[in-house]
Amino acid sequence: MAEIQVVRGDITDEQVDAVVTAANESLLGGGGVDGAIHRAAGPELAKAGAAQAPCPPGDAVATPSFGLGPRIRHVIHTVGPVWEGGGHGEADVLARCYRRSLEVADDLRAGSIAFPAIATGIYGFPSDEAARIAMSTIRAAHTQVQLVRLVAFDEETYRHLKAQE
Ligand code: APR
């Protein structure tokens, strides 16, 4: 099982093999963490993403990290569920984002990965429930990734993730 670390910070500062972005189906970039990662990686990231779009909610695809490198080698783009009250399978889709991202990381032989709090920003997923899903899904995953870092951008997200440790 991977070591899981909960940290506060900006995911673009992470020193890991792969960072996960909370994307939309076009993989062209957007606001939030996707915007930060695309700004740091440069315009080639959107071109590489578009070549693999559309990415349905719950799935994940990898591209090179471009300007985020050389320490970060890969960007894994995953699309979270838009929160619609909880009765539309949102929890299952979010769990699939974490599971599929780890499967893609294994395909890349990534030893370390950093996740943002997928779907808890613009997509509105409650951060306490999202933290529970993230932690339980990662703990249950059969992955070769040795280190998983959960990067909280704000205090509330950090508190919810720490509560799941
Ligand atoms: N580092 C780490 N986490 C960050 C950063 C950052 N630089 N910037 C934002 N976050 C956090 C947010 O505070 C939130 O907790 O990432 C989490 C996810 O929020 P969003 O980025 O809004 O992602 P999401 O809710 O999944 O919405 C995805 O937003 O940016 C668009 O293209 C994206 O359409 C997609 C949608």
Cite the beta strand spans of 34-141 per DSSP E. 60-64, 74-79, 112-115
Per-residue pLDDT at 151 exceeds 90? yes
Q: For residue 152, what is the enclosing H or E element?
A: strand 147-152
Distance CA 43, CA 104 (A): 22
State yes or no: pLDDT of 106 exceeds 90: yes
For the record, the structure tokens of 124 come out as 């509105």
Q: Mean per-residue pLDDT for 112-128?
A: 98
Q: Distance from the CA of 60 to the center of ligand 1, in angstroms?
A: 15
H or E element in which residue 93 lies: helix 90-107
Beta carbon of 57 within 6 Å of any ligand 1 atom: no
User: Which residue range forms the structural domain that includes residue 135?
Assistant: 3-163
pLDDT confidence bin for 112, thresholds 50/70/90: very high
Residue 110 has pLDDT above 90, yes or no: yes
Tens digits of residue pLDDT in 55-94: 999 999 999 999 999 999 999 999 999 999 999 999 999 9
Tokens 């994940």 map to which residue? 60
Number of domains in the chain: 1
Q: How far is the CA of 33 from the centre of ligand 1 (A)?
A: 4
> Please, which pLDDT band fits residue 17 given cuts at 50, 70 and 90?
very high
**pLDDT number for residue 93:** 98
- Domain CATH code at residue 125: 3.40.220.10
**Residue 120, ligand 1, Cβ within 6 A:** yes
User: Is 154 labeled as catalytic in the residue annotation?
Assistant: no
Give, in order, the Cα–Cα distances in Å from 90 to each of 26, 83, 121, 129: 19, 6, 14, 11
Distance 123 CA to ligand 1 centre (A): 8
| Mean pLDDT on 106-116 | 98
State the pLDDT at residue 1: 80
Please state, in angstroms and rounded to a whole number, the distance separating the CA atoms of residues 9 and 85.
28
Judge whether 54 and 45 are in contact, CB under 8 Å: no
